[in-house]
Structure 1
Amino acid sequence: MNAPIPELTDRMRQIFGLVVEAYLERGMPVGSKMLAGSVSLSPASIRGVMQELEERGLLTHPHTSAGRMPTETGLRLFVDGIMQASLPGAAERAAIEAQIRDRPVEEALEAATATLSGLSACAGVVLTPRQELRLRQLSFVPLSPGRALAVLVGADGSVENRVVELPPGTSALALAEVGNYVSSRLAGMTLAQAEARLRAEITERREAIDAAAGELVASGLAAWSHDAAQRPVLIVRGQANLIDDAAAADLERVRRLLEELEDRQEIAQVLEQAREAEGCRIFIGSENRMFALSGSSVIAAPYRGSDGAVVGVVGVIGPTRLNYARVVPMVDFTAQALTRWMA
């Protein structure tokens, strides 16, 4: 845990803000000569202030002769206490709202994410509202006398496999029959609906299906339904924005970030942490375990449904040197626009 940061003098605060702003704009360490025209101090005096800021853990330098750049602690201080954020411009607001107007839910979310990605020059991400999987087909592949592989195909084409333990005496024929019944009679239902219908059929003995096999399948449908309800759907757009001119000097970091973006479940867990936030939640570098190695930041904000409950999270992922003053209000506005549209 970082030690408390002592109060900064007005001069230190001014120099620190200028260094961070210049670094976020250029992506390169900032020297004293670069700031000399912005403050009434000599380069030597500016270097002295920079040295004090470095001793406090707010600035660092990649090598002795280089200028300074903010540490993650410094970026956190800048974002929380110095940054001057403003609303996105009228053109940006119009571009975001235009993409979500008169579209189905998933198309609107994809379009909003792509637009946010383009405007922020980051990867755009959104957790979509959870939707129940609808059943298309269920089949079983025997593995051993006591085990089988259950293969569930959803109406959206998704496929899930699970190894299940079979009740003693369950035959391959019984499994095939109950699988055929589910596929022919329950297709199109949600997993919860299919489970309820199957249990009713078993109880009332209206179908000639093996009770033990039927109960096994009903329990499996219940477990699948619960898992699906807990598993958010993630949309990622604009990964190519992460490969800019500045990225050429740090290809290893970009490679790591692109690899991390492939792990949708981990990203979803990061975004889930923003569900309870009042506005934007900002994770800088190692503040989040997943993006610690690539040195990346996540800015995310929740959006709400017609009942006022949080239904998803929208945000961006990019390098720690992204323009927070511009991107934070942009993400916040996108979340507000999605909330208005869903209401």
Structure 2
Amino acid sequence: MSPAIPELSDRARAIFRVVVESYLQSGVPVGSRTIAQAAGLNLSPASIRGVMQDLEGAGLLAAPHTSAGRMPTETGLRLFVDGMMQAAEPSTEERDLIERGIGRGGPIEDALAAAGSVLSGLSACAGLVMVPKQEPVLRQFGFVALSRDQALAVLVGDDGQVENRVVALPPGTTPAMLAEAGNYISAELSGLTLGEAQARIAAEIGRGRAAIDRASRDLVGRGLALWSTDGADRPVLIVRGQANLIDRVAAEDLERVRQLLDELEGKEEIARLLGSARDGSATKIFIGAENKLFALSGSSIVAAPYRGAQGRVVGVVGVIGPTRLNYARVVPIVDFTAQTLSRLMA
């Protein structure tokens, strides 16, 4: 178990801070000569090397075999972020870029996509936005027969968007049944969300008041279930700026970069991780192998929830990049972006 910050001596704390801050800025291990030149450290390289060995023994620093310098471990980064980091407020220029990028008017979907792009540009990482789950509101519904045992269920939402799903048909389904089920949904359930529609039809059937025969009821239930299951299992995640992840230092470790890009392709896993940031009011930081998802790529996520009407959390915004993120700068930028989105959506 690593020591807590108060348990480190003043000398060890000062050296540890210089190593971490220098590494986060340069991405390369830090040697005793660099530390000796740091302002306020009146120590010889030999004394510094001794302290660095102690910090390495405590699991806070590591020495790559290709270098005499030291770099923070993921444990050391967590200790630094939680106990020593001094986050700077976003500059006036950064605030202006965020507010102008997000608040250009137009659909809220455009603002969310813009938030990912702005964060990517400011952090030199990939920007992430988990979009609020919006259940479609029914306007029209129909079935188109594909074969004896399959049909295409077609949903037209209140916003005009059209979505299609393939549904398995019970044996003996006729074109007349498909037409009856589609007409029933369009006439009786229009204007309801999918959840409301399912609750309504279940109540009507339970009371024996559904003006539709038993075979068509089965079709109605199957059709509505397609979207409710799909919507719950398919988080919506916007990713912007993946190319930023391939920088000069990362290019020297192409396998790590490849692994990270593969993780971004599996958006469901990333979205589930971001979802855990919905529960808190503050920005969350996930560092490397603390999460199994990043055990191979050595990546970090900084994420903050944003809110809609009545202050309810509706989504998460953040960045993903290597563990050597400039956390002191990125954390306030992500937090300000979340605040800006919250003001826009309130």
For normalisation by structure 2, the TM-score amounts to: 0.86
Q: String of CA shifts for 1:91-116, please: whole Å, max 9, x gaps.
A: 00111111222332111111111101
- Whether 2:12 is the aligned partner of 1:12: answer yes
- Segments of 5+ residues of structure 2 without an aligned counterpart are none
CA distance in 2 between partners of 1:148 and 1:119 (Å): 49
Task: Verify the 8 A CA contact 2:2 2:60 in the aligned structure 1.
Answer: no
CA distance in 2 between partners of 1:332 and 1:285 (Å): 20
CA distance in 2 between partners of 1:196 and 1:9 (Å): 63
**One-letter amino acid of the structure 2 residue matched with residue 217 of structure 1:** V
Work out which of the residue numbers 297, 301, 314 in structure 2 matches 1:298: 301
CA distance in 1 between partners of 2:24 and 2:81 (Å): 12
CA distance in 1 between partners of 2:249 and 2:216 (Å): 60
Q: Percent identity?
A: 57
- CA pair 187-40 structure 1, distance change in 2 beyond 3 A: same
CA distance in 1 between partners of 2:264 and 2:162 (Å): 23
Task: Verify the 8 A CA contact 1:125 1:315 in the aligned structure 2.
Answer: yes
**One-letter amino acid of the structure 2 residue matched with residue 109 of structure 1:** L
Q: String of CA shifts for 1:142-192, please: whole Å, max 9, x gaps.
A: 788xx646645555344444556x3xx643445533465368757886434
Task: Verify the 8 A CA contact 1:274 1:280 in the aligned structure 2.
Answer: yes
Residues 64-213 of structure 1 mapped to structure 2, 5 A cutoff? 65-101=67-103, 102-134=105-137, 138-139=142-143, 148=150, 151-153=153-155, 155=157, 156-161=161-166, 163=168, 166=170, 170-173=172-175, 175-178=177-180, 180-181=182-183, 190-192=193-195, 195=198, 210-213=213-216
Q: String of CA shifts for 1:220-267, please: whole Å, max 9, x gaps.
A: 415633652564321111111111111111111010101100111111
Q: String of CA shifts for 1:114-158, please: whole Å, max 9, x gaps.
A: 1011101111111112211255654366788xx646645555344
Work out which of the residue numbers 314, 318, 322 in structure 1 matches 2:317: 314
- CA pair 49-200 structure 1, distance change in 2 beyond 3 A: closer
Work out which of the residue numbers 56, 62, 81 in structure 2 matches 1:60: 62
- CA pair 240-175 structure 1, distance change in 2 beyond 3 A: farther
- CA pair 60-115 structure 1, distance change in 2 beyond 3 A: same
CA distance in 1 between partners of 2:227 and 2:309 (Å): 27
Work out which of the residue numbers 281, 284, 298 in structure 1 matches 2:284: 281
- CA pair 19-158 structure 1, distance change in 2 beyond 3 A: farther
- Segments of 5+ residues of structure 1 without an aligned counterpart are none
- 3-state DSSP class of the match of 1:66? coil
- CA pair 32-183 structure 1, distance change in 2 beyond 3 A: same
Work out which of the residue numbers 237, 256, 261 in structure 2 matches 1:258: 261
Instruction: Provide the aligned C-alpha RMSD in A.
Output: 2.9
2:49 aligns with 47
CA distance in 2 between partners of 1:180 and 1:219 (Å): 12
Task: Verify the 8 A CA contact 1:121 1:242 in the aligned structure 2.
Answer: yes
1:21 aligns with 21
Q: String of CA shifts for 1:10-48, please: whole Å, max 9, x gaps.
A: 110011110111111111111111222112111111111
**One-letter amino acid of the structure 2 residue matched with residue 282 of structure 1:** I
CA distance in 2 between partners of 1:248 and 1:4 (Å): 31
- 3-state DSSP class of the match of 1:125? strand
CA distance in 1 between partners of 2:323 and 2:101 (Å): 27
CA distance in 2 between partners of 1:225 and 1:189 (Å): 13
2:249 aligns with 246
- CA pair 163-247 structure 1, distance change in 2 beyond 3 A: farther
CA distance in 1 between partners of 2:13 and 2:96 (Å): 35
- 3-state DSSP class of the match of 2:293? coil
CA distance in 1 between partners of 2:14 and 2:146 (Å): 71
Deviation at 1:322, TM superposition (A): 0.8
Task: Verify the 8 A CA contact 1:174 1:213 in the aligned structure 2.
Answer: no
Task: Verify the 8 A CA contact 1:60 1:71 in the aligned structure 2.
Answer: yes
CA distance in 1 between partners of 2:300 and 2:254 (Å): 17
**One-letter amino acid of the structure 2 residue matched with residue 100 of structure 1:** I
